């Protein structure tokens, strides 16, 4: 009888240890997930705050602007039809006349298809927020899209009213995430060419 009690006690003790370990593991994972979510929410809030600051500065004329327009006359292009693209680059200048890009606004019209895009950059030139509105519904199943980034990784995807954590985006989402990120970097390089030599002006 004594041996039976000892065995039962040992088994119970082993079960308690396993349950405790499992609890600590689950609790740890939950805490890790919570911390990650809180960090992402902070990144989104910071991008939103930056967006409001830059928009105010742009609308109040406190940013320099360079404009590039393709096919300003609106002539029809062979095999394409009507096509027009306007690129607006907004930046500030430091005391040393060093240009720092803040945002890029893009407007594209091709026949009846229209795209409006906005790319927001932090002070180191990294895209932190991209907005797109469009009516090319045969190609993309959304009217408006917002993507928040941190170090080139998606933090949050907002399609209309639907919000998805960047960690849980599907492959179809990630394709567009990378496409728009690539466009942001392409336009950034075009901006650098446009403002090259500003710091040398006298």
CA–CA separation, 4 vs 24, rounded Å? 30
**Per-residue model confidence as pLDDT tens digits over 89-115:** 999 999 999 999 999 999 999 999 999
Domains of the chain: which residue ranges?
59-200
pTM over 0.85: no
Q: What is the DSSP letter of 80?
A: T
Query: Has residue 32 got a pLDDT over 70?
Result: no
- Let me know the angle formed at the C-alpha of 72 by 71 and 73, rounded to the nearest 5 degrees: 90
Q: pLDDT digit string (tens) for 138-175? A: 999 899 999 999 999 999 999 988 999 999 999 999 99
Q: What is the mean pLDDT of the chain?
A: 89
What local confidence, expressed as pLDDT, does residue 141 receive?
87
Over residues 112-130, the mean pLDDT reads 97
pLDDT (0 to 100) of residue 31:
47
Model pLDDT, residue 36: 61
Top pLDDT among 39 and 72 is at 72
Tell me the pLDDT band of 13, cut-offs 50, 70 and 90.
Answer: low
Residue ranges of alpha helices (H) inside 60-194 are: 171-194
Evaluate whether 85 touches 104 at the Cβ level (below 8 Å).
Answer: no
Residue 122 pLDDT:
97
Instruction: Please determine, for residue 27, whether its predicted confidence score (pLDDT) is greater than 50.
Output: yes
Backbone angles phi, psi at 19, to 5 degrees: -65, -40
pLDDT greater than 80 at residue 20: no
């Amino acid at each position: 009888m004594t041996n039976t009690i000892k065995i039962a006690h040992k088994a119970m003790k082993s079960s308690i240890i396993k349950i405790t370990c499992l609890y600590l593991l689950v609790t740890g994972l939950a805490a890790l997930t919570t911390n990650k979510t809180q960090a992402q929410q902070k990144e989104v809030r910071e991008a939103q705050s930056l967006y409001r600051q830059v928009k105010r500065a742009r609308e109040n004329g406190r940013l320099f602007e360079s404009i590039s327009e393709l096919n300003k006359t609106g002539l029809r292009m062979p095999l394409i039809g009507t096509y027009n693209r306007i690129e607006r680059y907004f930046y500030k200048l430091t005391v040393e006349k060093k240009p720092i890009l803040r945002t890029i606004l893009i407007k594209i019209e091709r026949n009846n298809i229209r795209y409006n895009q906005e790319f927001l950059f932090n002070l180191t030139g990294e895209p932190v927020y991209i907005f797109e509105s469009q009516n090319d519904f045969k190609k993309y199943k959304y009217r408006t899209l917002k993507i928040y980034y941190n170090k080139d990784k998606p933090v949050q995807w907002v399609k209309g009213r639907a919000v998805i954590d960047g960690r849980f985006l599907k492959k179809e989402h990630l394709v567009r995430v990378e496409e728009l990120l690539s466009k942001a970097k392409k336009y950034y390089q075009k901006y650098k060419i446009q403002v090259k030599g500003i710091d040398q002006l006298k």
